Copies of this chain bind each other. A is one copy, B any other.
């Protein structure tokens, strides 16, 4: 048995929180150590490098995120709502983690492995999309495009809000959003049941 004195979950939580807040470069190891209540040297003894620390932390946090728990039920609208709800809940937990990861990933390739668990979660959602497409209930297209169409508006709304331009942007209503996704944004039109 290896004695565990440090509170690793707390470290990982701090890492992700500061990563979302300040980005990879902006989240310094000193600040992480201070916020997690451990010594900076401990971080390097345990994880070797900042990149490895972030990899462990991000994968750890993603393995328990609501979006990984969505499953196929046969009810298209309900499943889309579940996906949207899960994304909103994930955003509540970890802020703008998805756009932040995508942005940083386009700059530093060494964070690619930090994306693996998140990517697996996305894969689950994509599978659901594909099933509904093959049943003819959703437009046939690259399922990642479908997912972008479903979550993109929410992500961008959050990005606008977080940009702090003084915009009182309302939170997206999951039900309205799924309806708009399915039936479009023309008003006063009989809904297709």
Contact = CB atoms under 8 A, between A and B. Distances in A.
Contacts of A144: 157, 160, 167, 169
A3 interface: no
Nearest to A140: B187
Interface in A141-193: 141-142, 144-146, 148-149, 151-157, 159-160, 162-165, 167, 169-170, 172, 176, 180-189, 192
Copies of this chain: 2
22 contacts: A22-B107, A23-B25, A23-B103, A25-B25, A25-B26, A96-B106, A99-B103, A101-B163, A102-B160, A102-B162, A105-B163, A115-B163, A139-B187, A144-B157, A145-B169, A148-B157, A149-B153, A152-B155, A153-B153, A156-B156, A180-B184, A181-B185
Contacts of A138: 185-187
- Per DSSP, chain A at the interface is helix
3 closest Cβ pairs, A-B complex: A152-B152, A184-B184, A152-B156
Size band of the A side of the interface? 35 or more
